Amino acid sequence: MTNHWADIKNANVIIVMGGNPAEAHPCGFKWVTEAKAHNKARLIVVDPRFTRTAAVADQFVQIRPGTDIAFLGGVMNYLLSNDAIQHDYVKAYTNASFIVRADFTFDDGLFSGYDEAGRKYDKASWTYELGPDGFAKVDPTLQDPRCVYQLLKKHYSRYTPEMVSSITGAKQEEFLQVCKTIASTAPADRTMTSLYALGWTQHSVGSQNIRSMAMIQLLLGNMGMAGGGVNALRGHSNIQGLTDLGVLSDLLPGYLTIPKETDKDLDAYLAPRTLKPLRPGQMSYWQNYPKFFVSLQKAWWGEAATKENQFAYEYLPKLDKLYDLLAVFDLMHQGKVNGYICQGFNPLASAPNKAKVIDGLSKLKFLVVIDPLVTETSTFWRNAGEFNPVEPSKIETEVFRLPSTCFAEEDGSLTNSSRWLQWHFKGAEPPGEAKTDLEIVGELFGRIRRLYAKEGGTFPDPIVKLTWPYAIASAPSAEEVAREYNGWALADLPDPKDKTKILVKRGDQLTTFGQLTDDGSTAAGCWIYTGSYTDKNNMARRETADPSGLGLAPAWAWAWPLNRRVLYNAASCDPTGKPWDPRRTLVKWNGEKWVGADVPDFKVDQPPESGMAPFIMNPEGVGRLFGADKMAEGPFPEHYEPFESPLARNPMHEKPVASTNPAARIYAEDKAALGTAEHFPYAATTYRLTEHFHFWTKHARIPAVLQPEQFVEIGEALAKEKGIRDGERIKVRSNRGEIVAKAVVTKRIRPLTVAGKTVHTVGIPIHWGFEGLTKPGYLANTLTPFVGDANVQTPEFKAFLVNVEKLGVA
């Protein structure tokens, strides 16, 4: 979230698209209720299903799965053609005035630079015209036909209400009513907040769904405002934390990136990441990248990371390609992966195309599963009849299952969607011989390190020289590790304002990432978490006071970065440093410095007249309406059909290659496994129920009783057409597999008219499997396609094709 849970109460309009917080995030959703009750907020829900969030909405619009960009593109067209934007904000705080290079084009669904064979773009033209001074050229009048504002208007002029309706299935009047409500937040004293979840990410255009809303929020001046923002409702309790810590195949902690093999040495690695300002006087905070990186290397390799050896740059792996979850399961399927460790992760249930995952796991030499509970992944080799029809004797994988503690049995912090790091405390002993993850990782690493010390082996240095400053080597404590990611001084740090004074003494904890250095005198394992564990554990703070009344609770736990509760909050002030809306004062310029209820997201003594703009992480200093070269499939989000679509072609484009996302990766075998509308005529989407959490709660008695049996949701019209009665068992097939479940015949999903044809949608809840206290069921991913978002490879679970068949009475 750019904002935070309680901040939802400050909104005038709440739009929920790509999520269903009333059921998936119920206790956060209460702030929507609060906004409605006490701020007269209007709630809009746009979704393929009439959810419980929709049930309390002021307006619900049903759309076909996978058509969000068409809808949001239409909203942008409405805002721009009705001039319903916050002009001063757009001019000062976005790249609307920037001039785009003359050779940047868009034609029939493809941007300039497309390489069809490689399914990727040469993005050279996706950038700004630079002046002789090296800065981007701008036209503050926004009249230049090559400025972002004009290109944006032109691009989205194609998203007419007729086109939106034809693609999404929403009625024009419904769509225009939503546009009007959204447009009502263009004035500086009104805000809209956007709430989304996996309903937006699990698409081949997932990242661009989110970007579309970010652009709308920039046009309306809602970024940085209390009651505004683009708010990701993350799926797990610490998915935000693991993302922040960079536990991903292409990341390092704090959104640093893993080197590529083309980054031959430290300088080659740092240069393209140390971003210089693109406009005069901008902060471009990533200029400090070397300080964050060197401090990480010092945290990991201590005295073995020296200036002479490029701070142990050699110790990090260099990527030749992506090793994301989909890529790795494809490599496994090809027999190119020998061992796999699943720590609290059940990929058999959560990776697409179960048959392919089973095949991959069966080709492993060894599999290690660390979990508090039984998972289907740990027993993938077990024949569970129709639910898992495998032959154990033919599966040669060695499987280890190691019991870990659960939340109640350990200390530590979790980062929630608000970016709050909340410390929790152990309150029970674990069952049997279960150990904490810290202990399991510590013990395993200790063994591997001892083997390397004793026997030698391939490139032992990064292993034997890894820092391990923990009192009990086999069981690092949560506090010790937290102090390490916060960071400390390795030498006395002089005060930059008066070098005769010491700012931080050697060995002391750092209080801000502003203290980090690139000369090896500081260590910090995750720069954005610096400040979380100073001389005390700030994550354990539990003060409830909220002096501003905006719900910031500034002394409850600790929020990254620097305990800031609303990101980009300097954009809540006009270019003179005065809040756009005095009732929503987060920060302001008092003539000498930035002050306020929140921690200013700005250089604290930088006067607003200096022209430094509030989006300090961007070299432009402003928010990007034009995404430049940051996205895989283009600087402006464009509607592409899901890889399995009920339409034969994208109504917006003639070229077949531009029907679906032209930059998304799809392997040949998986492409062949896609189904067509001829055989699989119904749009399908997966979803969660409020009574269950993924595949865990089927092991807990009460939730297992509340939702004991697998079902599939179909609309009344489809049920009538197929002669299916409520409660009857039906077969749902995709081109990859089939499941059998009870039919819930519902009014919640209506047929839609899309491009002149009737399209039914099938809803598939995900929570059952062949392990658990519920009745056994099929893993929903038996059905889903093995293709992901073009930028981050999140699988397309929210838009695919199925057929349904009547099976007979249960």
Query: Interface residues for another protein in 554-583 (CB under 8 A)?
Result: 556
Residue selected from 153, 158, 401, 750 as contacting another protein according to rule CB under 8 A? 401
**Closer CB to another protein, residue 275 or residue 700?**
700
Least Å distance between CB 222 and another protein? Answer: 21
Give the range of 187-195, 422-430, 615-623, 667-675 binding another protein by CB under 8 A: 422-430
What DSSP string describes 83-150?
Answer: T-S-HHHHHHHBGGGBBBPTT--EETTEETTEETTTTEE-GGGSSBPB-TTSSBPB-TTS-STTBHHH
Cite the beta strand spans of 435-504 per DSSP E. Answer: 488-489, 493-495, 498-504
- Is 311 a binder of another protein (CB under 8 A)? no
Residue selected from 142, 176, 341, 617 as contacting another protein according to rule CB under 8 A? 341
Give the range of 108-116, 217-225, 473-481, 515-523 binding another protein by CB under 8 A: 473-481
- Is 28 a binder of another protein (CB under 8 A)? yes
What DSSP string describes 573-589?
Answer: B-TTS-BSSGGG-SEEE
**Closer CB to another protein, residue 120 or residue 426?**
426
**Closer CB to another protein, residue 278 or residue 586?**
586
Least Å distance between CB 197 and another protein? Answer: 9
What DSSP string describes 379-413?
Answer: TTTS--GGGS---GGG---EEEEEEB--GGGS-EE
Residue whose token pair is 């391939």: 458
Give the range of 114-122, 367-375, 652-660, 726-734 binding another protein by CB under 8 A: 367-375
Residue 705 CB burial class (10 angstroms; 0-12, 13-18, ≥19): exposed
**Closer CB to another protein, residue 728 or residue 771?**
771
> What H or E segment, with its residue span, contains residue 75?
helix 68-81
**Closer CB to another protein, residue 95 or residue 297?**
297
- Alpha carbons 599 and 494: distance in angstroms, whole number: 24
Which of 86, 2, 22, 35 lies closest to 550, judged by CA?
35
Under 8 Å CB-to-CB from 132, ≥6 apart: which residues? none
Residue selected from 48, 74, 228, 412 as contacting another protein according to rule CB under 8 A? 412
- Is 56 a binder of another protein (CB under 8 A)? no
- Is 416 a binder of another protein (CB under 8 A)? yes
- Alpha carbons 1 and 193: distance in angstroms, whole number: 10
- Is 538 a binder of another protein (CB under 8 A)? no
**Closer CB to another protein, residue 97 or residue 793?**
793
Least Å distance between CB 736 and another protein? Answer: 17
- Is 98 a binder of another protein (CB under 8 A)? no
- Is 466 a binder of another protein (CB under 8 A)? yes
* b/e burial code for range 308-338 (CB count within 10 A of at least 16 → b): eebbbbebbeebeeebbbbbbbbebbeeebe
Adjacent-strand bridge partners of 677: none
CA angle 486, 491, 492 (to 5 degrees): 100
Least Å distance between CB 371 and another protein? Answer: 6
- Is 27 a binder of another protein (CB under 8 A)? yes
Residue selected from 56, 258, 384, 502 as contacting another protein according to rule CB under 8 A? 258
Residue selected from 101, 146, 426, 603 as contacting another protein according to rule CB under 8 A? 426
**Closer CB to another protein, residue 424 or residue 806?**
424
Least Å distance between CB 618 and another protein? Answer: 22
**Closer CB to another protein, residue 278 or residue 421?**
421
- Is 414 a binder of another protein (CB under 8 A)? yes
Residue selected from 142, 176, 384, 399 as contacting another protein according to rule CB under 8 A? 399
Q: Are 593 and 610 in contact (CB under 8 A)?
A: no
- DSSP state for residue 471 in the 8-state scheme: S
Site residues for another protein, window 731-760 (CB under 8 A)?
none
Residue selected from 355, 448, 491, 717 as contacting another protein according to rule CB under 8 A? 448
Under 8 Å CB-to-CB from 741, ≥6 apart: which residues? 710, 711, 712, 729, 730, 732, 777, 778
**Closer CB to another protein, residue 4 or residue 760?**
4
**Closer CB to another protein, residue 619 or residue 772?**
772
Residue selected from 227, 228, 246, 561 as contacting another protein according to rule CB under 8 A? 246
Q: Are 579 and 588 in contact (CB under 8 A)?
A: yes
**Closer CB to another protein, residue 286 or residue 407?**
407
Tell whether omega for the bond before 561 is within 30 degrees of 0, i.e. cis: yes
Q: Are 437 and 241 in contact (CB under 8 A)?
A: no
- Is 790 a binder of another protein (CB under 8 A)? no
In terms of phi and psi (left: phi > 0; alpha: psi -120 to 50; beta: otherwise), the region of 643 is: alpha
Least Å distance between CB 738 and another protein? Answer: 22
- Alpha carbons 708 and 702: distance in angstroms, whole number: 10
Q: Are 187 and 86 in contact (CB under 8 A)?
A: yes
Site residues for another protein, window 475-494 (CB under 8 A)?
476, 478, 481-482, 484-485
Least Å distance between CB 9 and another protein? Answer: 11
Q: Are 95 and 622 in contact (CB under 8 A)?
A: yes
- Is 318 a binder of another protein (CB under 8 A)? yes
**Closer CB to another protein, residue 324 or residue 574?**
324
From the CB of residue 66, how many other CB atoms can be counted at a distance below 10 Å? 30
Under 8 Å CB-to-CB from 146, ≥6 apart: which residues? 99, 100, 102, 129
Least Å distance between CB 369 and another protein? Answer: 9
Site residues for another protein, window 276-305 (CB under 8 A)?
300
- Alpha carbons 517 and 506: distance in angstroms, whole number: 13
Residue selected from 50, 285, 286, 452 as contacting another protein according to rule CB under 8 A? 452
Cite the beta strand spans of 591-678 per DSSP E. Answer: 594-596
Q: Are 342 and 371 in contact (CB under 8 A)?
A: yes
Site residues for another protein, window 162-201 (CB under 8 A)?
none
Give the range of 12-20, 216-224, 309-317, 648-656 binding another protein by CB under 8 A: 309-317
Displacement of CA 610 from its chain's centroid (Å): 34
Residue selected from 505, 542, 578, 671 as contacting another protein according to rule CB under 8 A? 542
Site residues for another protein, window 202-241 (CB under 8 A)?
202, 233-241
**Closer CB to another protein, residue 21 or residue 621?**
21
Q: What type of residue sits at position 181?
A: T
Residue whose token pair is 């981050």: 792
CA angle 346, 348, 353 (to 5 degrees): 140
Which of 140, 161, 137 lies closest to 71, judged by CA?
161
**Closer CB to another protein, residue 264 or residue 276?**
264
- Is 395 a binder of another protein (CB under 8 A)? yes
Backbone angles phi, psi at 514, to 5 degrees: -65, -20
- Is 37 a binder of another protein (CB under 8 A)? no
**Closer CB to another protein, residue 416 or residue 803?**
416
**Closer CB to another protein, residue 551 or residue 634?**
551
Residue selected from 204, 207, 217, 418 as contacting another protein according to rule CB under 8 A? 418
**Closer CB to another protein, residue 90 or residue 438?**
438
Build a one-symbol-per-residue string for 667-706: x at contacts with another protein by CB under 8 A, - elsewhere. -----------------------xxxx--xx-xxxxx--x
Residue whose token pair is 């432009």: 620
Least Å distance between CB 38 and another protein? Answer: 14
Residue selected from 428, 453, 472, 604 as contacting another protein according to rule CB under 8 A? 428
Least Å distance between CB 735 and another protein? Answer: 21
Residue whose token pair is 């904890």: 509
